[in-house]
């Protein structure tokens, strides 16, 4: 009897240990599986879904670092919390950068008075395009809450279970931003080498030389100050990023739309050759129309 009781106690301890181990694995698994941190659970099927909000989260946050699409609530899982406020700090930041790009474009156009070379024309195109892109993205921000809520409404009817979508959007965002950073560093390298040839040690004087050589169309008219040099440098970085972000934004949205259409195609392939009622085909057609209307 004593041996039997000991076996029961040992078995109970083993079961308790297994339960505790499973509980800890469930607790920490989210830290190692990245898509779980960005996906949500469908309340009906209890499966993880890839929502429009979660798919665009990283791209939107990256854009807002450089004053693009200034909407609130982009990191929230609830689309109803996405809103545009003209008085928010994001909107004020975006307007300030737009005014800064007006300044850069105006100075580039003014440089045509003394130099009509290809380099001067390139600056006008570069900063002028950035200015137009910023204004277009600001307009997108005004209607973005409506787009997010419309996508969320469609997802309540037809949830998207393509978790690979989140991986594709996040990896693409990382690759694009990394390439933009490398591109910008390479564009600045000749200017830095020219400045360090005059001042081997990195000082404020060497930065002044760099700024005057790299932005002659600004400091030919305005006296150099460290603040003006840093502002011009930031607006140049912002312009480089904006050129790359425009493509990234379109690609991220395309990933989501393609994923929804592929889900419709998969349902058709899974039921190919089957005799199904009319209600099934009606549901498939309605799901396709909803995805196409996005």
Q: Is the pLDDT of residue 184 over 70?
A: yes
Q: In the prediction, which pLDDT does 201 show?
A: 58
Mean pLDDT within 277-292: 81
Q: Is the pLDDT of residue 102 over 50?
A: yes
Q: In the prediction, which pLDDT does 265 show?
A: 84
Q: What is the 3-state secondary structure (H, E, C) of the chain?
A: CHHHHHHHHHHHHHHHHHHHHHHHHHHHHHHHCHHHHCCEECCCCCCEECCHHHHHHHHHHHHHHCCCCCCECCCCCCHHHCECCCCCHHHHHHHHHHHHHHHHHHHHHHHHHCCCCHHHHHHHHHHHHHHHHHHHHHHHHHHHHHHHHHHHHHHHHCCCCCCHHHHHHHHHHHHHHHHHHHHHHHHHHHHHHHHHHHCCCCCHHHHHHHHHHHCHHHHCCCCCCHHHHHHHHHHHHHHHHHHHHHHHHHHHHHHHHHHHHHHHHHHHHHCCCCCCCHHHHHHHHHHHHHHHHC
- Separation between Cα atoms, residue 149 and residue 157, nearest integer Å: 13
Q: Is the pLDDT of residue 286 over 90?
A: no
**Average per-residue pLDDT for the chain:** 79
Dihedral sign for Cα 166, 40, 36, 61, please.
Answer: positive
Q: Is the pLDDT of residue 219 over 80?
A: yes
User: pTM to 2 decimals?
Assistant: 0.74
Least trusted range by pLDDT, from 27-41, 117-131, 209-223, 261-275: 27-41
Q: Is the pLDDT of residue 96 over 70?
A: yes
Q: In the prediction, which pLDDT does 194 show?
A: 67
Q: In the prediction, which pLDDT does 35 show?
A: 39
Give me the half-sphere count of Cα atoms (radius 13 Å) on the Cβ side of residue 76: 13
Least trusted range by pLDDT, from 30-39, 140-149, 221-230, 241-250: 30-39
Q: In the prediction, which pLDDT does 218 show?
A: 86
Least trusted range by pLDDT, from 27-36, 228-237, 253-262: 27-36
Instruction: Determine phi and psi for 226, rounding to 5 degrees.
Output: -60, -40
Q: In the prediction, which pLDDT does 39 show?
A: 46
Residue 241 or 9, more confident: 241
Residue 276 or 21, more confident: 276
Quick one: pLDDT band at residue 208, thresholds 50, 70, 90? Answer: confident
Q: In the prediction, which pLDDT does 279 show?
A: 84
Q: In the prediction, which pLDDT does 27 show?
A: 42
Q: Is the pLDDT of residue 28 over 70?
A: no
Q: Is the pLDDT of residue 136 over 90?
A: yes
**Pairing mode, strands 48-49 and 40-41:** antiparallel
Q: Is the pLDDT of residue 118 over 80?
A: no
Mean pLDDT within 137-148: 93
Mean pLDDT within 181-203: 71
Q: In the prediction, which pLDDT does 175 show?
A: 92
Residue 96 or 274, more confident: 96
Quick one: pLDDT band at residue 209, thresholds 50, 70, 90? Answer: confident
């Amino acid at each position: 009897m004593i041996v039997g009781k000991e076996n029961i106690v040992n078995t109970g301890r083993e079961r308790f240990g297994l339960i505790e181990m499973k509980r800890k694995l469930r607790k920490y698994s989210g830290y190692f599986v990245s898509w779980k941190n960005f996906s949500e659970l469908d309340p009906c099927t209890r499966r993880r879904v890839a929502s429009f909000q979660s798919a665009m989260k990283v791209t939107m946050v990256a854009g807002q670092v450089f004053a693009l699409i200034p909407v609130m609530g982009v990191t929230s899982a609830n689309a109803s919390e996405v809103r545009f406020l003209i008085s928010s700090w994001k909107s004020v930041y975006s307007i300030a950068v737009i005014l800064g790009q007006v300044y850069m474009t105006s100075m580039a156009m003014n440089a045509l008075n003394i130099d009509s070379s290809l380099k001067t024309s390139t600056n006008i195109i570069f900063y002028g395009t950035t200015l137009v892109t910023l204004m277009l993205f600001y307009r997108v921000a005004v209607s973005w809450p409506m787009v997010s809520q419309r996508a969320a409404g469609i997802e309540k009817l037809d949830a998207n279970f393509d978790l690979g979508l989140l991986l594709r959007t996040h990896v693409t965002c990382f690759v694009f931003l990394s390439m933009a950073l490398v591109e910008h560093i390479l564009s600045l390298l000749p200017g830095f080498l020219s400045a360090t040839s005059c001042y081997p040690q990195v000082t404020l004087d060497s930065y002044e030389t760099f700024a005057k050589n790299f932005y002659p169309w600004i400091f030919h008219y305005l006296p150099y100050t460290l603040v003006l040099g840093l502002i011009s440098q930031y607006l140049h970085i912002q312009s480089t990023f904006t050129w790359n972000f425009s493509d990234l934004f379109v690609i991220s949205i395309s990933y989501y739309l393609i994923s929804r259409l592929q889900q419709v195609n998969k349902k058709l392939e899974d039921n190919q050759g089957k005799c199904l009622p009319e209600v099934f085909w009606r549901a498939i057609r309605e799901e396709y129309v909803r995805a196409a209307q996005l």
